[in-house]
């Protein structure tokens, strides 16, 4: 598993997770890595391997959610020729491939109960048996597993084996989501932005305009670092002028006035009813100065439109349905400059 295994961040929560991985790395025990999508679970798995005595041996990865249930056991434990339809020759499983090294099981929570039972035996006794064979073989494999699910809760509901969870949870490293990593958004955005600028051959790095910095901090980042990287790199490559700070960023690449709309859904009991999209209501209770609130909202709209149109004022005026003079009045009223 070759990756760009740099850890970028300075928040205490993030550094604590990295430090725990570093301390657990030399151990032979299994490790569970928990975290939302895009938080870097794969990088932690690689760190656990590279800092262990097994660093020179294979690091084998298997995404448990990427295979149908009927093939997972064959992938994990291998099979003999003729074990099932299509098995024309014997094949080693991931456990055999990872012998003396590390096996990284991503999306562990999606494993079937049958695969969990066989995995439990492999973890407990260090033995695997190919499908279609009666002869177990010894393997020396360190397991690192990752998931974004609440495995203890699944175990309580009978959807995950409690005994397997006990075997795998010698150490549990829970990665913090990006939204709680104080100060890391700006650091990561600058890192990804500079790297993308260099890839594009930019002669200088202009940074981000202040309102874009604020948008980056305010975004909830459901996709975490992976989403941030995509958003920043997209903003850089769409920006044409490395002499001016990047003034526009798009968080949803699918957002378009021409995107296809889903067919209207029918509500139960009301055949002709259309499902209305639900949007979060503004927090009107927090408004204690109407004029300031309206001005702030107006400034944000104009600022965003200017950035989207690369500070082409005539194009921005047209997009907002304003005359050129009206837009100029707004710019002057809010003290906006292209450095913003």
Identify the pLDDT of residue 191. Answer: 96
Q: What is the mean pLDDT of residues 127-152?
A: 92
Least confident of 199-203, 226-230, 281-285, 324-328: 281-285
- What was the pLDDT predicted at 266? 58
Residues β-bridged to residue 283: none
Best-predicted range by mean pLDDT (115-119, 235-239, 306-310) = 235-239
Walk me through the domains of the chain, giving residue ranges and CATH numbers.
12-176 (3.40.50.300), 182-260+289-334 (1.10.8.60)
Of residues 156 and 314, the one with the higher pLDDT is 156
For residue 75 the two structure tokens come to: 């992938």
Give the closest residue to 336 by CA, choosing from 308, 309, 306. Answer: 306
d(CA 223, CA 110) in angstroms, rounded, equals: 20
Cβ neighbours of residue 272 closer than 8 Å, sequence gap 6 or more = 266
- Residue 283 tokens read as 């927090």
pLDDT exceeds cutoff 80 at 267: no
pLDDT bin (cut points 50, 70, 90) of residue 275 is very low
Q: Check whether 241 has a pLDDT greater than 80.
A: yes
pLDDT average, residue stretch 112-137: 89
Q: In sequence order, what are the residues at sequence separation of 6 or more whose Cβ sits closer than 8 angstroms to the Cβ of residue 12? A: 182
Q: What is the mean pLDDT of residues 256-274?
A: 64
**Confidence label for 277 from pLDDT (cuts 50, 70 and 90):** very low
Rounded CA-CA distance 80/92 in Å is 8
What integer best gives the mean pLDDT of the chain? 87
pLDDT at 208 over 80: yes
What does DSSP assign to residue 84?
Answer: S
pLDDT at 282: 61
Averaged pLDDT for residues 161-174: 96
* Residue 133 binned pLDDT confidence (cut-offs 50, 70, 90): confident
């Amino acid at each position: 598993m070759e990756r760009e295994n740099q850890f970028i961040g300075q928040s205490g929560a993030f550094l604590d997770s990295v430090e725990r991985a570093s301390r657990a790395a030399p151990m032979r025990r299994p490790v569970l890595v928990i975290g939302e999508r895009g938080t870097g679970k794969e990088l932690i798995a690689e760190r656990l391997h590279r800092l262990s005595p097994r660093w020179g041996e294979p690091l084998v990865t298997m995404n448990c959610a990427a295979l149908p249930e009927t093939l997972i056991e064959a992938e994990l434990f291998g099979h003999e020729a003729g074990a099932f339809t299509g098995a024309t020759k014997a094949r080693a499983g991931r456990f055999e491939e990872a012998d003396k090294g590390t096996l990284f099981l991503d999306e562990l929570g999606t494993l079937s109960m049958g695969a969990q039972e066989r995995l439990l035996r492999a973890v407990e006794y260090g033995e695997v048996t190919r499908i279609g064979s009666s002869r177990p073989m010894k393997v020396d494999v360190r397991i690192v597993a990752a998931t974004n699910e609440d495995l203890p809760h699944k175990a309580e509901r009978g959807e995950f084996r409690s005994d397997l969870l006990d075997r795998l949870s010698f150490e549990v490293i829970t990665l913090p989501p990006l939204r709680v990593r104080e100060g890391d958004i700006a650091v990561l955005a600058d890192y990804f932005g500079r790297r993308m600028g260099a890839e594009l051959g930019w002669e200088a790095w202009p940074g981000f305009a202040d309102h874009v910095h604020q948008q980056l901090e305010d975004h909830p980042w459901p996709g975490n670092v992976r989403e941030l990287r995509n958003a920043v790199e997209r903003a850089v490559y769409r920006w044409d002028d490395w002499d001016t700070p990047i003034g526009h960023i798009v968080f949803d690449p699918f957002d378009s006035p021409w995107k296809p709309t889903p067919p209207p859904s029918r509500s139960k009991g009301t055949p002709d009813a259309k499902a209305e999209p639900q949007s979060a209501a503004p927090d009107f209770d927090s408004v204690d100065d109407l004029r300031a609130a309206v001005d702030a909202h107006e400034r944000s709209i104009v600022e965003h439109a200017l950035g989207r149109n690369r500070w082409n004022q005539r194009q921005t005026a047209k997009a907002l349905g304003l005359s050129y003079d009206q837009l100029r009045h707004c710019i002057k009223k809010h003290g906006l400059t292209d450095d913003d």
